[in-house]
């Protein structure tokens, strides 16, 4: 492959735009998209903090009670849960 054929990796903004277009094309509504993003984002921060709710809440800059309520709504966010 020549240098002109090698494409640089997409930047975060570009990847997000592509994902948003796909979601709109599939008929995913805004509330569902926001819920999925929140679920995924919280799960990743929890994973990086070993499931520690206090550290996760601090990293997310939300109160631990708020995080606890969100996790209750998304039970699968807790480590070791299906």
Domain 29-82 falls in which CATH fold? Arc Repressor Mutant, subunit A (1.10.10)
Per residue in 51-81, pLDDT (tens digit) is: 999 999 999 999 999 999 999 887 766 555 5
Q: What is the pLDDT of residue 15?
A: 93
If you search the block for the tokens 């997409």, which residue do you land on?
Answer: 10
pTM of the model: 0.75
Per residue in 17-42, pLDDT (tens digit) is: 999 999 999 999 999 999 999 999 99
């Amino acid at each position: 492959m020549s240098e002109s054929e090698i494409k640089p990796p997409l930047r975060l903004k570009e990847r997000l735009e592509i994902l948003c277009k796909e979601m709109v094309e599939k008929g995913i509504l805004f509330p569902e998209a926001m819920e999925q993003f929140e679920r995924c984002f919280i799960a990743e921060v929890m994973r990086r903090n070993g499931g520690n709710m206090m550290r996760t809440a601090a990293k997310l800059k939300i109160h631990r009670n708020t995080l606890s309520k969100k996790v209750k709504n998304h039970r699968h966010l807790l480590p070791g849960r299906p």
